[in-house]
Structure formats: structure tokens, C-alpha cells
Structure 1
Amino acid sequence: MIEEIQAKTDSRPVLTIAIPTYNRARYLRELLSVLFDQLVAEPRVELIISDNASPDETPQVIEEFVKRGLPLRNIRNKTNIGADANFMQCFEQAQGKYFWLFGDDDVIVPGGVARILALLDRQDYAIAYVSTYEFRNDYVTERTWDKFGRIAEPLTGGLELIRRIGAMVTFISAMIVNKDRYLNSVHPPMDRLIGTNLMQLGYLLPVVASSVSNLYIWERIVGARGGNCSGWGACQVFGINLKRVAEQYIGDRRDIVTALCNHTLQNWFPGTIMESREGTGSQLNSENMCELLEPIYKTNGRYWFYVYPLIKLPLAMARLWYSFVRVLNRVIRVIPMMLRYWFRNERIVQNQINTPSAPEMQKQVAP
């Protein structure tokens, strides 16, 4: 009996990568092409694809890679159950210790999975945040690198993590969670979040609230495809829903809720508002931004300083204000970062893990 339990434990995947997908066969093919060499002989990783009844060539793309020998578990829903329910299904089906919900239009660069596994092997983490870079056409030539050559940095507690990443906690391709920590935490049911566009916070926030040891991965291992979202309301999701979900799923950690909302107002909303006004970002639902945000944030100075002027000012003046805000935020961000780098450098993992380094991986994928 003991041997059976030990065998089951030993055979459990370290990491589950789950890809919820709908009607994006072209992007899915690119992602699986990049993952093929990384996972075809990697028993520590479980790959799940949850196809939400795609009407395009998605089933054929998946079958193509199965025939080539890519080990994966394919789940095809009979009907489209919606993105939130599909996310929840991925989480419930995952068997790995760590769970990584990954966007079907994003990319894990060659060698990236091995880097992640090597970092996760160093310690038992609650959350790992993976730095991303945006690309529009070619994830290889548009890739960027950490200017200080950092690989990763351990963070103490959920508050420090949220102060660093803010609204990026909602970006599925950047967040890896220890599923065991979630199962051992006190948490409301995830199905309450169906329809919020924030299902992922159902399993992330309870772990963030109780976390002690987290990991910030500076190396930009994930390429995030820019300008490829549509049909959702920025203020409804990141203004109303985000605050409400955080209050419900973070427990009694009001400090973390405040830090998340403040970071979102200061760092996420300005760029999103300007992209919407300029027509250069994702296609968003038409919203009355002030009408939605003011009842919630009217007592928060960050709303009036960072958000309100960009909504109300004429576009030319809004551009000037946005330029000022960007410079200010950069100063606010860079000074503490430099101090941490100089005085806490011993915490930062440099390029000392036994997998290809960032420049070496760049050579591997260079044309």
C-alpha cells in the first residue's frame, strides 16, 4: 500500500500547462509548434487543451500534434460553456503540483519550460509570476530582455507580490500557482466568478493572501500577443469586478485589496484608456468610464490624478498628461527597483541554473 502511494506521488507532474482555446486554430498551432520540442520528452509536465467547441480547424490542429507524438490530454466541450467555465474546468482537471493556465495566442519561448522547471525546483513556492513581453508579429525578433540580466527573485508574502505586479495578477499566461496551496486554503467556490471575466482570481487570490514565499521571474519567457482581445469592458472588469472579487477572495487581507486597486488605477488604466481613445489597443466594449468608476473610486486620489484627466481632457491634452504620468510612474518604479537591486542583490537569482541562458536561447531560435 505504501509503495502504491509512493509510486502515485512520484508519477505526479510537477507542472500542468492548461490551454483553454476557442476558434484560434492558427495561434494554437504556433503555440504547440513552440511547445513540441519542449514537452515531447518531458514527463514532469502535463499538457491539457480544453477546446470550447471551436467551429474552426482546432480539432484537426490538436490531432496533428497528437499524431506527431506530443503528449497531451484533449478535452473538447460539446457546447461553448464560456471562457470562465472553461478556465475552471482546466484547473479542476489539472494533476500537477503547479498549475499554469496559458493563453492560446501567447508563446512560451524555446527553452522556457526547462527554465521554469529549474526555478520551481529550487524551493516550494506559492505563486510564480513570469515576466512577459509584448509582440505583434514575430515573437522571436520582438523579444526583449531584462536590462540587469536578472533571472528571478524570491518575494516574501502576497502584499509584496501584488505591489510589484498589480493587475498583472489577472493575466493568465503570467501566473503559476501551487495547486496544493489552494486546496489547503480557505476559499469561496470558484463557480461564483462565472461571468466576471476573472475566474482565474478564484484560485490565485486565496493563495496570494496566505502566501509566504513567492517567485518573481524576471527573465522574459512568455511572449504575449498584443491587440488580440475584444468584447469586454475595461471598467466593468478591472474597475467594478476586480475590486469586488478581490474583497471576496482575499479574505481579511484588506492591505492586499488596497494595493491591487491602487496599482491598477495608477499603472493599468492610463495605458488602457489612451489605447482605447487612440484606437491602437484591443477592441473594447463602449463604456461610460466615469459613470462606472467614480462611484467606486471617488475617494481615491489615484482615480482623480491618473484616470479622470485621461478620460475627460481633449485628446491632445490627454496625450500630454499621459506622457507626464508615464514619466512619473517610471521614476516611482525605477528608484525602489534600483535600491532593491543594490541592497538586496543577494536575493536575486542570476544565470546559475543548468539550462540554456537567455542569449543562448536567442541563438537557438534566431533565423
Structure 2
Amino acid sequence: MRLSICIPTYNRAKFLPDLFDSILAQTGYACEVEVVVSDNASADDTQAVIERYRGKFDRLVYQCASQNMGADWNYLRIVELASGDFCWLMGSDDVLEEGAIAAVEQVIAAQPEIAGLSVGRVIRSFELERRREERLAKGLVLSDSGELHGADAIFRSLAAYLAYLSGQIVRRSLWNEVVEDSPVSDYFNAYVHVYVIGRMVQRCPHWYYLAEGLVGWREDNDSFLSDGEYNRLRIDVVGYEQLARGLFGAGSPTYHHINRDVSTGLLFRRLLSGVIDAAPRSFFTKAAQLTFPLYARYPAFWIKTAPLLLLPRPALRLGRTVVKSLRAAS
């Protein structure tokens, strides 16, 4: 079995060595491993980093685009370049934890029929200091390792977590089939990989969740924040509504389940970040205008998330102080 570690990247030269070193440090596995990097026309020293590591890997594939084609294009391109039976989609600023490849190899050997698997993550600081282990984003129902069957069940358990690129490993042949005959370009919303996985599990409705933290997530380094906090929030809200509608149909139980999870998970965390970062009131006003029409039907939204949109500024300032104190204590 060959495992391709697929790394789409753009201007991440200063982070790639951490990832490469974490791959080189892996032990205890027998499968063949290739490292594949698709560079979206980086203007930094990415190519120099690649050349420095080229002789350290048994197989390192690197291709650089002539211009930046966007993140979604790069997610598809990276799998095109790979040759493994399975592809581990990997953010270029994250790292593999100790024993990660061996653990994934063991699952694939025991569950050969799966379309892919998701793995837990370890939350690390920007400097990669360990903070805590997070098996699933808050609000989701699955907490222990196990196989999931049926596209609806898979997305009800994992939909929001599938947004995390580095936590997903896919069967390359099935991925390629979906990309070949599905309207993937309609879902260039930063989450095209979630759409492809959705179509994969509709064809092969078997997915595995490995709860062990196998990926180190570098927190506070979201490249999509470069366009501002509101636009980052909008990617989650609009993108996931489109995905849920396209995969399961507007109004279906799974459609509502996914949107409800986003309203109390991804959206809640974006708003909480806005509180912590002292975002202007206009951020919360625009967020309310975007989200209330979509999520007002869900009681959980009103209980957990809506207060962040409705609280007066003094309360938000107090909340910001409390959250920062709790983070410092942890």
C-alpha cells in the first residue's frame, strides 16, 4: 500500500520544514510513503525548501503553478499529482504527531473497504507548543473511534470536522472518479474537498473516524483570515449551506442537521474569535444579517450562538476579558 501525503501550499516556506521533519520522524510503519506538494505560485522560498528536503524523502513530488489558481483548485490538483492508494490531505502549516502514519496504516489494513477516514487533532500554538487534544469539534456527536455507514450518518457526525483539511485521508481512485464526473467547480467555496468526500461516501458509504490525535493543528494561522474576519465567517456559513443543499437537498433532515451544527460550531467559534479580537460592531451586525435568516429556525442557535450577536458592547468586553483569562489559565 502506498500513502501519499498531499500538501497544497502557498507562501508557507517558513512552516514547511516543521511538517517535513514530522514526516521524516515517523516510525513503525511498513507502507510506502510519498510526499506530494502542489505550490500555488508562491512568491517566497518554497522551492528552496523543497530542494533542501528532496534528498531526504524516498519520493517527493513537487509542482509549482504559473499563477495562483485558488485553494480549491489546489486541493484537486494535489490529488492529481499523487500516486498512492490513499491520500492524506495536509495543510502546509500543520504537523504529523508521533506514530500517525503507523496508526492510519493499521486502520486501512483492517478496514479495506472504506472510502476514507478522519483523524483527531492536537491543538498547538503558533509555535507548535501542545495545548490540548481535540477529537472532534464541539457540537458533534461522535467521540470514539469507529466505522460509520451511510452518507447521511457520516455527515451528521463529521460534516463540520471535514472542513479541517489535515484530518482527512481519502481513497484516491474513488476521489478521482467523483472529480471526473461531478460539477466540482460549482463548489469552489474553500471547501471543495468536503463536497468531493460527500459524493465519495454516497457511492461508497463507509468511513472511519480515528479519535486519536494524529495531526498537530497550528492554531491562529488561518490563511483565509487575510480577507477579514467577516469574509472568513461567510466562507463557513455560505459554503456549508451550499454543500448541504448540493449533497442532500434543501430541506432534508441532513441538510438541517449540518446547518444546525455549523450554527453552533464553526459559526460560534468565528464569533468568539471576534469577541476575543475586539472586532468592530459592524462585524457582528453583518454576521447577524447573514446568519439569522438561515439559522433562526434552530433552537440551539438561539441558546448558544445568538447571544454573541445580540449582547451589548459592555457585555462583549466583559466576555472578552473572561475568555482571555480562561485561555491564559489553561
Using the size of structure 1 for normalisation, the TM-score is 0.73
Within 5 Å, which residues of 2 pair with 1:241-320? Answer: 241-250=239-248, 254-279=252-277, 288-315=286-313, 317=315
The AA in structure 1 aligned to 2:51 is E
1:202: how far off? 2.9
1:74 CA displacement: 0.5
Q: CA deviation at 1:289?
A: 0.3
Q: 1:53 to 1:108 in 2, by over 3 A?
A: same
**Closer/same/farther in 2, CA of residues 143 and 307 from structure 1, 3 Å limit:** closer
The answer as to 2:265 corresponding to 1:238 is no
Does the C-alpha gap of structure 1 residues 68 and 15 become closer, same or farther in structure 2, counting only changes over 3 Å? closer
Alignment match, 2:117: 128
Q: Is the 8 A contact 2:37 2:63 kept in 1?
A: yes
State the partner residue of 2:103: 115
Q: Give 2:7's match in structure 1, choosing from 3, 19, 37.
A: 19
State the shift of 1:70 in Å. Answer: 4.4
Structure 2 matches for 1:51-62, cutoff 5 A?
Answer: 51-62=39-50
Whole-angstrom CA distance in 2 between matches of 1:60 and 1:16: 22
> Which range moved further: 206-215 or 53-62?
206-215
Following TM superposition, by how much is the alpha carbon of 1:251 offset from its aligned partner in structure 2, in angstroms?
Answer: 6.3
Q: Is the 8 A contact 1:205 1:246 kept in 2?
A: no
Q: Alignment partner of 2:265: what SS?
A: helix
The equivalent residue for 1:329 is none
Q: What 5-or-longer segments of structure 1 have no aligned partner?
A: 1-12, 323-367
Residues 1:277 and 1:142: Cα distance change in structure 2 (over 3 Å): closer
Alpha-carbon distance, 1:308 to partner: 1.9
On the 8 A contact 1:240/1:293 being kept in 2, the answer is no
Change (3 A) 1:268 1:315: farther
User: What amino acid does structure 2 have at the position aligned with 1:82?
Assistant: G
Shift in alpha-carbon separation, 1:129–1:33, aligned structure 2, 3 A = same
Q: 2:67 aligns with which of 76, 79, 87?
A: 79
Which residue of structure 2 lines up, in the alignment, with residue 158 of structure 1? 151
CA contact (8 A) 1:206 1:251 kept: no
The verdict on how the C-alpha distance between 1:88 and 1:212 changes in structure 2, with shifts beyond 3 A counting, is: closer
- The SS at the match of 1:114 is helix
Q: Deviations over 1:69-119 (max 9, x none)?
A: 442100111121121211121122232222221100011113211111111
Partners of 2:7 and 2:36 within 8 A in 1: yes
Alignment of 1:53-202 (within 5 A): 53-123=41-111, 124-137=113-126, 139=128, 141-142=130-131, 144=133, 152-183=145-176, 188-194=182-188, 196-202=189-195
- Contact 1:206–1:250 (8 Å) recurs in 2: no
Decide which structure has the larger Cα Rg and report it. 1
- Cα distance in structure 1, aligned partners of 2:297 and 2:105: 44
Rounded Cα–Cα distance in structure 1 between residues aligned with 2:213 and 2:155: 19
3-state SS of 1:26 partner: coil
Asked if 1:225 is matched to 2:218, the reply is: yes
Deviation at 1:239, TM superposition (A): 1.2
How many angstroms does 1:64 deviate by? 0.6
Q: Alpha carbons of 1:44 and 1:189: their partners in 2 closer, same or farther (altered >3 Å)?
A: farther
- Between the aligned partners of 1:212 and 1:200, the Cα distance in structure 2 is 16
Contact 1:133 1:144 in 2 (8 A): yes
Displacement, 1:211?
4.2
Contact 2:178 2:196 in 1 (8 A): no
Change (3 A) 1:253 1:64: farther
Q: Structure 1, residues 293-346: CA drift from partner, whole Å, max 9, x if none?
A: 123223333333332211120256458999xxxxxxxxxxxxxxxxxxxxxxxx
> Using the alignment, how far apart are the partners of 1:70 and 1:256 within structure 2?
43
| Matched-pair identity in % | 24
CA root-mean-square deviation: 3.0
In structure 2, do the counterparts of structure 1 residues 313 and 126 end up closer, same or farther at CA, with 3 Å as the change threshold? same
Asked if 1:207 is matched to 2:195, the reply is no
Aligned partner of 1:347 in structure 2 is: none
In the TM superposition, residue 277 of structure 1 has moved relative to its aligned partner by 1.6
1:34–1:274 CA distance, 2 compared to 1 (3 A): same
Shift of the 300–223 alpha-carbon distance from structure 1 to 2, 3 Å rule, reads: same
Displacement after TM superposition at 1:22 (Å): 1.0
